[in-house]
Amino acid sequence: MTVVKYGVGVALLVVSFISLGASRVMAQRGAGGSGDRIPGDVQLEKGPVALDDFERNALTVLDDIGRNQRFRNVPQHDGRLLRIMAQSINAQHVVELGTSTGISGIWIGLGLRQTGGKLTTYEIDADRARTARENFQRAGLSDVITLVEGDAHVELKKLSGTVDMIFLDADKEGYIDYLNTLMPMLRPGGLILAHNINPRMAHPPFMEAITTNPKLETVVRGGMSISLKKQ
């Protein structure tokens, strides 16, 4: 009888540890996110708080996209990071590769609304582009965001002027081409952020380029690479 009770107790303990581990993984991932986050970060971080009615509406739209639209987007914590980065460097022009249905664009747009800047975002899929335009309209950011529909490898050649921040979240093998095209336009002190940077998905030529160029200072945190153009 004692052996049976001991065995049941061990089994329950194992199940508890498995459940705890699963809950931590889910907390790390969030809605549509990745499992690259440190559990302590998730425990300490709170949700976004709206500054005003405009942001309150935008956050409602973001929540609706995350819950009801099937296309993949960046998780909330990455979107918030993009907003912080764009706003903190007083970005006037941000370029995004891979709009999807607009979650990252809305977060960036919230930052640019404060700086008076603009976002140019590229999406090759017509359905995603149409949905993103609707979402930008719902969030009140159509005047901040220009969506270019088509193959960005082609469309980027039409772009000119200075860029303050670049966000890459499209075809991973294409990151190096986007980097080479946009680097000459990126101002000193500008930022390059790339999504899905982990051992499974990071494209070696891109990683080589951002980690060996003396003009760039690069770190990788939580599945996102962040590169500063030093000069």
Average pLDDT over every residue of 219-228: 96
Reply yes or no on whether the pLDDT at 9 is more than 80.
no
State the Cα–Cα distance between residues 183 and 4, nearest whole angstrom.
67
Residue 83 contacts residue 106 (beta carbons within 8 Å): no
> Taking a C-beta distance cutoff of 8 angstroms, is the pair 84, 111 a contact?
yes
Is 75 in a helix, a strand, or coil? coil
**Residue 100, CA distances (Å) to 33, 51, 73, 121, 220 in order:** 14, 26, 6, 10, 23
**Per-residue pLDDT tens for 133-160?**
999 999 999 999 999 999 999 999 999 9
pLDDT at 5 over 90: no
Q: Where are the domains of the chain?
A: 53-229
> Residue 176 pLDDT more than 70?
yes
**Percent of the chain beyond pLDDT 70?**
84
Segment 194-220, tens digit of pLDDT: 999 999 999 999 999 999 999 999 999
CATH class (in words) of the domain with range 53-229: alpha beta
Tens-place pLDDT, residues 39-96: 878 788 899 999 999 999 999 999 999 999 888 889 999 999 999 999 999 999 999 9
Whether residue 169 contacts residue 196, with contact meaning beta carbons closer than 8 Å, is answered with yes
Quick one: pLDDT band at residue 164, thresholds 50, 70, 90? very high
Kindly tell me if the per-residue pLDDT of 16 is higher than 80: no
Q: What is the pLDDT of residue 95?
A: 98
Distance CA 214, CA 231 (A): 9
Beta-carbon contacts of 89 under 8 Å, excluding residues fewer than 6 positions away, are: 164, 165, 189, 190, 191
Q: What are phi and psi of 145, to 5 degrees?
A: -115, 130
Distinct helix (H) and strand (E) counts, the chain: 9, 7
- What is the C-alpha separation between 206 and 203, in angstroms, rounded? 6
pLDDT at 43: 82
- 29 versus 53: the higher-pLDDT residue is 53
Q: Are 125 and 152 in contact (CB under 8 A)?
A: no
